[in-house]
């Protein structure tokens, strides 16, 4: 739940230190995304009567005796470092305020952010409605936007970070931090997103292999016959 909140804290601190138009632009976008994501995770957390995320269940089983120490390093400290690293373009753009006026790149970046945010929001809402229906117990969602992508929420997440980077890139000093959206995309595609969820669903949901064969893993695309 605190992943998105961490970015909100950084963006708000940057706005307080540098209250200009671009800083406000970035802070509003980060708050919109981060607080929505935190509330989404809260609604599906153990605090609301749901089971723990399957990925964390796997971590607990593999590191049962040392889970407290393992999670301190590999979950809390690692994610704290990632929050700082991924937010660097935003930090630089807020600190430098150059150019002072909003540019065409800002507008393009905001457009990309809004498209990514809308895709992520739509995918999460479709999935939440699907899971809420008791008749879908033991099944997986393969309709709507999920018929075009196995992980449209992850695609939307990556896209909105590319949009935030474009806004930050209006400041030349922030442009070198292009590793930020690249890192987000890599983590979703190769580390904590697509691979783990595909492996889990392939082992637990009947027919998921056929769904994988016909459906794009990331970028929404018409399904193969």
> Among residues 154, 121, 26, 34, which one has the least CA distance to residue 83?
34
pLDDT at 43 (0 to 100): 84
What CA–CA distance (Å, rounded) separates 173 from 185?
22
52 pLDDT band, cuts 50/70/90, is confident
160 pLDDT band, cuts 50/70/90, is very high
What CA–CA distance (Å, rounded) separates 3 from 90?
16
Q: If you average pLDDT over residues 49-69, what whole number do you get? A: 85
Q: If you average pLDDT over residues 45-51, what whole number do you get? A: 71
Q: If you average pLDDT over residues 153-171, what whole number do you get? A: 94
The pTM score is: 0.89
Phi, psi of 43 (to 5 degrees): -65, -25
- What whole-number percentage of the chain has pLDDT above 70? 96
- The mean pLDDT of the chain is 91
Q: Which residues are CB-neighbours of 224 under 8 A, at least 6 positions away?
A: 213, 214, 215
pLDDT at 48 (0 to 100): 67
């Amino acid at each position: 739940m605190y992943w998105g909140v961490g970015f909100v804290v950084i963006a708000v601190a940057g706005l307080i230190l540098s209250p200009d138009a671009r800083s406000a632009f970035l802070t509003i976008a980060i708050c919109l995304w981060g607080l929505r994501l935190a509330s989404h995770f809260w609604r599906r957390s153990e605090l609301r009567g749901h089971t723990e995320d399957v990925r964390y269940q796997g971590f607990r089983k593999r590191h049962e005796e040392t889970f407290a120490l393992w999670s301190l390093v590999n979950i809390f400290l690692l994610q704290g470092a990632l929050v700082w690293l991924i937010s660097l373009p935003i930090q630089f753009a807020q600190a430098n305020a150059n150019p002072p006026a909003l540019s065409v790149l800002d507008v393009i970046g905001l457009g990309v952010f809004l498209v990514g945010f809308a895709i992520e929001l739509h995918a999460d809402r479709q999935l939440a409605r699907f899971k809420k229906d008791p008749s879908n117990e033991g099944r997986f969602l393969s309709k709507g936007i999920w018929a075009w992508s196995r992980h449209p929420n992850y695609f939307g997440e990556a896209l909105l970070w590319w949009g935030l980077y474009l806004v930050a890139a209006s400041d030349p000093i922030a442009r070198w931090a292009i590793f930020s959206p690249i890192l987000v995309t890599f983590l979703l595609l190769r580390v904590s997103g697509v691979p783990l969820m595909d492996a889990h669903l392939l082992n637990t949901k009947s027919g998921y292999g056929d769904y994988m064969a016909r459906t794009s893993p990331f970028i929404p695309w018409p399904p193969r016959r």
